[in-house]
A and B are shown apart, each in its own frame.
Chain A
Amino acid sequence: MYKHIVTLLKKDLLLELRQQYTFYGVLLYVASTIFVLYLSLEQPETNVWNGLFWMIQLFICVNAVAKSFLQETKGRMLYFYSIAGPVQFIIAKLVYNIIIMLLMSSISLLLFQLLLGNPLIHFWQFAGIVCLGSISLSLVFTMLAAIAAKAQQQASLMAIMGFPVIIPQLLLLMRISKAGLGEIFKESALSDMVWLLTGLNGLVMIMAVILFPFLWKD
């Protein structure tokens, strides 16, 4: 079980290193979006900065995750079907997408600071919340990409299905990330919300492991 996951993960990472298609594609997407933001806003005020940052994370995630899932052709899926189980496959995909998304989030955080000004007061606190947020986003959208891969017009469907599902988590993230921007929270409020987000991540993982086998058989 464990070995299969590592092998599948290695295959995805190796493909990435060889083709360098998703990585540079998404990287270009990140860079050009933030550059356009810079051209239109230059140095936005703190709340706008925060809101824009999370919206950009959302769109990056939709693009990055969609690419990683939809690149699998029918024939290849059949091959995976014969060598691995659905649970191993989905866990490998979840881990791979978390890695990609963590990378993209940190790059966009740096670019945001570089181009749009630096309103951060507690950098490491904000960076920690960004890590948590990118894990949340990538988990939810991996599951949705698996669902969308079964339908037509996959990219637009992912947005339609994903945005309502992710809104609560995104609201929570925007709320707690204000801690990094200098807002003072009540004693336990911040840790409560962090635990809630962590719990939601666990929930999404469990749902993915339970539900993916039903999408798998075709």
Chain B
Amino acid sequence: MRLSWWKLLCIVLLSYVLFAGFLMAVPRKAILNETIRNIYFHVPMWQTMMVLCGCSVYHSIRFLRKPDLLSDIKATSYATAGMVFGILGIVTGAIWANYTWGKPWSNDIKQIGSAIALLIYAAYFVLRNSITDIDKRARVGAVYNIFAFVMLLPALWIIPRMMESLHPGGQGNPGADPRDMDTRMRIIFYPAAIPGFILLGLWISSLVIRVRKIEDKNLLHA
């Protein structure tokens, strides 16, 4: 079995993240303690989800420009994989929050944002299933995908900066708070954890796309 270079890179990076992430030293912070290691796993889930959803929207736009069922298959496959990473992000976040904030869910603005994102993609699949005509389904789905993604961006990138949040960085700088990490953690987080999980997401999507291509062989070559 021969793997292309980026799949090998993904395996190498994620093995490094797993070993170094669990074994290397981390700074001792009050409340966080050892749970700070979760940053290698929880935060990359969101970056991966955004990349995958971005790919999904890109293929939806391509479908509207040039109707081709292959673009539609790609758009839905990326959205499926993105949803998986979103669910993992919520679960890893809830476990972390249980130990640091005292309860898994506290209606933090970013938790709400992530829940909204999942609901939007769930609605996207419900909408698609309610239309039987294949071309119409692809077109209407693409329109909703683009519209919802554009509406989602302010919810994830602007509003959290305006409201108080339990997440570190809070007002003005949401996302991973670089101040909590030291150099030992940064050399795992930035070069390995984020690209590693993004590559994994792309890999999973490529497998979903291949399965869907086989399933819909008749439609694609008709």
Contact = CB atoms under 8 A, between A and B. Distances in A.
A164 B131 contact: no
B144 interface: yes
Contacts of A200: 151, 154
A165 B136 contact: no
Interface stretch (A11-19, A23-31, A167-175): A167-175
Contacts of A192: 162
Given A157-B126, A161-B123, A171-B159, A147 B116 contact: no
Interface residue range, chain A? 20 to 34
Interface string B127-140: 10011000010011
A84 interface: no
B43 interface: no
A203 B152 CA distance: 12
Given A140-B151, A152-B130, A160-B126, A189 B162 contact: yes
**Majority SS at the chain A contact face:** helix
The prevalent SS among residues of B at the interface is helix
Contact of B127 (A157, A193, A203): A157
Interface residues of B, number: 31
Contact of B112 (A171, A196, A218): A171
A161 B163 CA distance: 25
B35 to A, nearest CB: 28
Contacts of B117: 164
Given A192-B162, A193-B162, A214-B143, A164 B136 contact: no
A60 B33 CA distance: 49
Nearest to B143: A211
7 contacts: A157-B130, A161-B123, A161-B148, A168-B154, A175-B163, A214-B64, A218-B136
Given A148-B127, A150-B131, 13 more contacts: A140-B151, A161-B126, A161-B144, A165-B116, A165-B147, A168-B113, A172-B159, A189-B162, A193-B162, A196-B162, A207-B147, A214-B64, A215-B139
Query: 4 closest Cβ contacts across the A-B interface?
Result: A164-B119, A168-B155, A151-B130, A161-B123
